Amino acid sequence: MSEADYHVHLPVAAQDSVQDFVDMAVRAEELGYEAVWLPETWGRDAVTIMTSIAHATDDVLIGSSIMNVYSRSPALLAQTAATLDEVSDGRFRLGIGPSGPAVIEGWHGIDFGNPLRRTREYVDIVKKVLRGDELDYEGEYFNLSGFRLRCEAPDPAPRVDVAAMGPKAVELAGRFGDGWHAILFTPDAMADRIEDFERGTELGDNDRGEQDVTLSLTCCALEDGERARHLTAQHAAFYVGAMGTYYRDSLARQGYEDEAHDVAAKWMNGDRDAAIDVFSDDMLDDFTAAGTPERAREELAKFAEVDGVDNVSIGFPRAASPAEIDATLEAFAPE
């Protein structure tokens, strides 16, 4: 296998309880995973869960992947990061990004506007707050002055990673962030986007050795390999068909334009099975690692070996049961 570290991307779908997320994080720590990342969508809030995980674990890094740059102000997001860093004894990592218009407008009721500029301003402001600087900031979205973090600033400050999909957004992550979080990319597309990220690194005069590229990969490894692949195809079809245009456009940029539009059309017309069937074996293998444990590990290696990928974060299909999640965690556990 490659030198990429293995992380865990906790389930995006709601679980039965907060304790389920905590138990998965504890299990990940026991199996030797370096970090656990938690998304925040329209289920339980991520902050409460990450606090619970911090209290239940000792060594595993804990991060948000992602918290959006709309539902909390940048100052509040920085306060939250500082507090989570304290309760986790310095193990917290902040991952932020724009999410997408489906969630931001449909759930939060906020105009999506210019996500690139907004993300840039969030990164700038959050970093200032976490350094303990007094806020003196004039931007397109935020004009702030007169305050600094009332408690002692964390030292070192938590890193601020940026989630991005398009070339300019990935370049922004390299230029202003401490890392990039990627999702739903083929190995070839990851290599192309890493070039964008590293161009941003140069523009920002940053040290690439101090930045991380983390790929969140949907994985499922079961003795029933067909079940694993069906769950994974179902998950991918949901993202392309139900989550607005972001994922559809990303697939189109990666050479799957016809398939992306076909999935979206079938999903929106209510023909979910047909949308899932669009994901051929080759297409599924291009975006995920699924099947029997042996096959899934072989597929994972293609992503982990991409030059410039520092971490692969093992994610799970939305409909996977706790037992199927645990089996997948075991199958990919670091050696």
Tens of pLDDT, residue by residue over 107-121, are 999 999 999 999 999
DSSP 1: -
Query: Would strands 136-138 and 143-145 be described as parallel, antiparallel, or unpaired?
Result: antiparallel
Rounded CA-CA distance 5/3 in Å is: 6
284 falls within a domain: yes
Q: How many CB atoms lie within 10 A of CB 275?
A: 25
Percent of the chain with pLDDT over 90: 95
| DSSP β-bridge partners for residue 145 | 136
Domain with 280, as residue range(s), is 5-71+159-331
The Cβ-side half-sphere exposure at 20, using a 13 Å CA radius, reads 14
116 falls within a domain: no
DSSP 217: E
124 falls within a domain: no
Task: Write the pLDDT tens digit of every residue in 137-166.
Answer: 999 999 999 999 999 999 999 999 999 999
The domain that holds 38 is classified in CATH as 3.20.20.30
Q: What local confidence, expressed as pLDDT, does residue 12 receive?
A: 84
pLDDT higher for 246 or 138? 138
pLDDT at 3 over 80: no
Mean per-residue pLDDT over the chain, rounded: 96
Q: How many helices (H) and strands (E) does the chain have?
A: 14, 12
46 falls within a domain: yes
79 falls within a domain: no
Rounded CA-CA distance 170/161 in Å is: 11
154 falls within a domain: no
pLDDT at 2 over 70: no
Tokens linked to 97:
């990004």
Rounded CA-CA distance 146/219 in Å is: 47
Nearest to 311 by CA among 223, 233, 217: 217
Measure Cα distances from 219 to 13, 202, 312 in Å: 14, 33, 11
319 falls within a domain: yes
pTM of the model: 0.95
pLDDT at 13 over 90: no
219 falls within a domain: yes
Mean of pLDDT values over 170-174: 98
Q: Which amino acid is at 146?
A: G
- Which of the four pLDDT bands, split at 50, 70 and 90, describes residue 1? very low
Task: Write the pLDDT tens digit of every residue in 249-283.
Answer: 999 999 999 999 999 999 999 999 999 999 999 99
- Which of the four pLDDT bands, split at 50, 70 and 90, describes residue 246? confident
DSSP 208: G
Tokens linked to 84:
């989570």
Rounded CA-CA distance 72/120 in Å is: 15
Domain tally, the chain = 1
